[in-house]
């Protein structure tokens, strides 16, 4: 499987002609990863000190920053350190948005910023339950944050100062995963979505789409046989490289790596260049009914 589309991009806001952006957007939506080996997020001298595990709070897998509320969480940093770490992550969020806007300008009016993450701790060897273990093949879906079919687009940058790569495995196409686990998706009981919302277990109403996607996420991660035998390809993203991927469509697992920045964006299906590539439309065709 060749799921990488390599782009010679060296600036976060580099201009591209209309035909290039149409092609790039098509490949991204179709399930390819846009790989930018020469695009790095440069940390200034003061920010370089944050490339150490001690800035994690020791409880979460990443430091998180909310660019909409300008709030940082899950870090041990205090006072000036906390403000400077937040400023670094805010700057990365802005650069990531510029990158998406330059490569996929059709998304400009519709892209919503989610959380910014910084992962200062080594991924390999991190203890976790199977359902939460990101080293197992999965598509992204959220237990507590329903998104009603909105696409999940993520921009990663490996800022490892020691030259270590971020190591992933890529799995089979989304259509194959949906077919494989369809019979294991449990029924969504009438009234359950409203109850979860009322009890504040979910931040909003869990649609039929969210129910199916979360089930696919869980069933794939919990199936040891699938994790061992599923077709997969190992990919190493070198230090100082950047990549973009719709993680709700691409089966992926993060096996190793440290010091990665990540920006999450949400995109309405209607804003896509071709809606047929969205998990929502694929699942609706499979189930022969609307899911939102």
The answer to whether residue 162 sits within a structural domain is: yes
The answer to whether residue 121 sits within a structural domain is: yes
CA–CA gap between residue 56 and residue 75 (Å, rounded): 5
pLDDT of 211 > 60? The answer is yes
What's the mean pLDDT in 99-113? 97
The answer to whether residue 253 sits within a structural domain is: yes
> pLDDT per residue over 229-277, tens digit each?
999 999 999 999 999 999 999 999 999 999 999 999 999 999 999 999 9
Range of the domain at 258: 4-287
**Alpha helices by DSSP H, the chain:** 18-29, 79-103, 174-181, 192-198, 208-222, 224-229, 279-287
Q: What total of structural domains would you count in the chain?
A: 1
The answer to whether residue 292 sits within a structural domain is: no
**Entry pTM:** 0.95
What three-state secondary structure class fits 251? coil
Phi, psi for residue 168 in degrees, rounded to 5: -120, 165
CATH of residue 254:
2.60.120
3-state secondary structure 107-171: HCCCCEEEEEEEECCCCCCCCCCHHHCCCCCECCCCCCCCCCCCEEEEEEEECCCCCCCEEEEEC
> pLDDT per residue over 122-133, tens digit each?
988 777 789 889
Confidence class for position 61, pLDDT limits 50, 70, 90: confident
Half-sphere exposure of 200 (CA within 13 A, CB side): 0
Please state which of the ranges 56-65, 108-117, 256-265 shows the lowest mean pLDDT.
Answer: 56-65
What's the mean pLDDT in 83-108? 98
The answer to whether residue 242 sits within a structural domain is: yes
């Amino acid at each position: 499987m060749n799921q990488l589309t390599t782009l010679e991009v060296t600036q976060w806001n580099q201009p591209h002609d209309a035909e290039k952006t149409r092609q790039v957007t098509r490949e991204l939506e179709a399930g390819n990863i846009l790989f930018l080996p020469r695009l790095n997020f440069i940390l200034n001298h003061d920010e370089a000190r944050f490339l150490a595990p001690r800035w994690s709070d020791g409880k979460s897998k990443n430091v998180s920053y909310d660019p909409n509320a300008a709030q940082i969480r899950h870090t041990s940093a205090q006072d000036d350190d906390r403000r400077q770490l937040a400023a670094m992550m805010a700057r990365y969020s802005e650069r990531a948005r510029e990158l998406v806007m330059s490569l996929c300008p059709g998304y400009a009016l519709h892209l919503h910023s989610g959380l910014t993450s910084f992962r200062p701790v080594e991924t390999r060897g991190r203890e976790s339950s199977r359902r939460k273990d990101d080293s197992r093949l999965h598509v992204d879906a959220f237990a507590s944050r329903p998104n009603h079919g909105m696409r999940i687009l993520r921009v990663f940058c490996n800022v490892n100062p020691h030259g270590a790569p971020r190591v992933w495995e890529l799995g089979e196409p989304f259509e194959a995963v949906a077919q494989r686990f369809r019979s294991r998706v449990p029924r969504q009981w009438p009234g359950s979505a409203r109850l979860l919302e009322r009890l504040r277990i979910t931040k909003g109403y869990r649609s039929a789409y969210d129910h199916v996607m979360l089930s696919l996420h869980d069933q794939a991660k919990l199936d040891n046989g699938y994790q061992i035998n599923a077709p997969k390809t190992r990919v190493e993203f070198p230090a100082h490289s950047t990549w973009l991927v719709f993680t709700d469509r691409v089966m992926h697992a993060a096996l190793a790596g440290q010091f990665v920045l990540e920006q999450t964006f949400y995109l309405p299906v209607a804003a896509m260049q071709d809606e047929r590539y969205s998990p929502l439309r694929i699942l609706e065709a499979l189930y022969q009914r609307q899911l939102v």
